[in-house]
């Protein structure tokens, strides 16, 4: 880098070479520096790509695990209570309701299946079950919808990266 930055006339005088030879020398040195920088950037990009693949594998293995673990289903029995009490009943488990009540951003704490359950729930029934007003319950459902969309987009992006990666492996 120092040899590139030195004025050609000074370097030519010091090395007792012509200005054209010094220009060729400086150009060659600059090309070497540029190539090293490209190689460094390529290594960084490759490391990021490999890290993304590892993260994708972790996410996919977690999704596979969650799909194989049987979920506890609740049986709802009609007890013949009044319609206002029945409207407070939801298909959501006590664990989900507790997370919705206690967490400042519950949409980040729930898994995707639970987010889908919250979205399917009637806003009024959700509000009653949580003892909230309907607007707050609707805002919660909207936040859950946004989080679920974000997760879906991340999975699609990872699948796209994986398919691109597999396509490049088959090229010569």
The string of pLDDT tens digits covering residues 86-141 is 345 677 888 888 888 887 788 887 888 888 888 888 889 888 888 889 898 899 88
Residue 122, domain extent: 94-167
As a dihedral over the C-alpha atoms of residue 66, residue 72, residue 74, residue 75, rounded to 10 degrees, the angle is: 120
Q: Percentage of the chain surpassing pLDDT 70?
A: 82
Task: Report pLDDT digits (tens) over 47-67.
Answer: 988 888 888 878 877 777 766
pTM equals 0.45
Confirm whether 128 is domain-assigned.
yes
- Do both 42 and 100 map to the same domain? no
H-only helix segments in 69-122: 83-87, 94-102, 112-120
Domains held by the chain: number: 2
The CATH number covering residue 134 comes to: 1.10.1490.10
Confirm whether 104 is domain-assigned.
yes
Q: How far apart are the first and last CA of the chain?
A: 36
What is the arithmetic mean of pLDDT over 70-90? 50
Residue 84 has pLDDT above 60, yes or no: no
């Amino acid at each position: 880098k120092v040899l590139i930055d030195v004025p050609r006339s000074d370097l030519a005088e010091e090395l007792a070479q012509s200005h054209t030879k010094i220009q060729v020398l400086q150009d060659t040195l600059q090309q070497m520096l540029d190539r090293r920088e490209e190689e460094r950037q390529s290594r960084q990009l490759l490391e990021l790509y490999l890290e993304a693949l590892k993260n994708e594998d972790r996410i996919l293995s977690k999704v596979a695990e969650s799909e194989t673990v049987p979920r506890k289903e609740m049986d709802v029995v009609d007890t013949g209570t009044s319609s206002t009490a029945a409207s407070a009943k939801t298909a959501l488990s006590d664990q989900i309701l507790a997370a919705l009540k206690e967490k400042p951003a519950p949409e980040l704490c729930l898994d995707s299946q639970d987010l889908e359950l919250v979205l399917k729930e009637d806003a009024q029934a959700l509000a009653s079950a949580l003892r909230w007003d309907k607007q707050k319950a609707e805002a919660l459902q909207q936040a859950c919808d946004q989080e679920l969309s974000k997760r879906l987009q991340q999975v699609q992006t990872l699948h796209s990266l994986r398919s691109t990666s597999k396509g490049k492996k088959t090229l010569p």
